[in-house]
Amino acid sequence: MRKIDSIIIHCSATPEGRDVSAATIRQWHKAKGWNDIGYHFIIRLDGTVEQGRPVEQPGAHCTGHNQKSIGVCYIGGVAADGKTPKDTRTDAQKASLLVLVKQLQAAHRILSSHIYGHREFANKACPSFDVQAWKQEVQL
Ligand SMILES: [Zn+2]
């Protein structure tokens, strides 16, 4: 098992209200020439958590930070126009995100201080919400 010490949260940058499966994202990423989906977990609009790339393998979701992290992606993250960053998380997605993050923390002994949003490492809007503020809100 690789050494895992952090969780990085993403959005799929797909329009609000459009549900997308892990299988579809896997197709998109394979079309880019990758060998598998870049994220380890996908959270659908209804809160269903789908497995992406096996956790044992490094993901492809955050340049320079893939080796020791787990990539979690919620579906959404932009407004209906398809480009304006927006926190589109449904209540179900918020609930699932919290449960999943806690499970991963317990399983891999990840400190709450090691949970990040993609935008903390890249000049992007992803995941379209402030992960540090969210952690405080949910008392992680
Ligand atoms: Zn991202």
Range(s) of the domain holding residue 60: 6-137
Question: What pLDDT is recorded for position 123?
Answer: 96
Q: Is residue 40 part of a domain?
A: yes
Point out the catalytic residue in the list 68, 102, 114, 124: 124
Q: Is residue 41 part of a domain?
A: yes
Point out the catalytic residue in the list 10, 40, 61, 86: 10
Percent of the chain with pLDDT over 70: 100
User: Omega into 85 within 30° of 0, i.e. cis?
Assistant: no
- Among left, alpha and beta (phi > 0; psi -120 to 50; other), residue 82 is left
pLDDT digits (tens, 9 = 90+) for 69-104: 999 999 999 999 999 999 999 999 999 999 999 999
How far apart, in whole angstroms, are the C-alpha atoms of residue 82 and residue 17? Answer: 11
Q: Is residue 53 part of a domain?
A: yes
Point out the catalytic residue in the list 30, 39, 94, 108: 39
Q: For residue 10, indicate whether it is catalytic.
A: yes
pLDDT-based confidence at residue 1 (cuts at 50, 70, 90):
confident
Q: Is residue 80 part of a domain?
A: yes
> How many folded domains does the chain comprise?
1
Q: For residue 114, indicate whether it is catalytic.
A: no
* Residue 123 belongs to domain with CATH number: 3.40.80.10
Cα 59 to ligand 1 centre (Å):
12
Q: Is residue 131 part of a domain?
A: yes
Q: Is residue 24 part of a domain?
A: yes
Percent of the chain with pLDDT over 90: 99
Q: For residue 39, indicate whether it is catalytic.
A: yes
How far apart, in whole angstroms, are the C-alpha atoms of residue 36 and residue 57? Answer: 10
Q: For residue 126, indicate whether it is catalytic.
A: yes
How far apart, in whole angstroms, are the C-alpha atoms of residue 63 and residue 118? Answer: 10
Averaged pLDDT for residues 51-66: 97
Q: Is residue 66 part of a domain?
A: yes
Averaged pLDDT for residues 38-43: 98
Q: Is residue 1 part of a domain?
A: no
Find tokens 């402030």 and name the residue: 130
Averaged pLDDT for residues 106-125: 98
- Among left, alpha and beta (phi > 0; psi -120 to 50; other), residue 76 is left
Of 66, 73, 60, the residue nearest 5 (C-alpha): 66
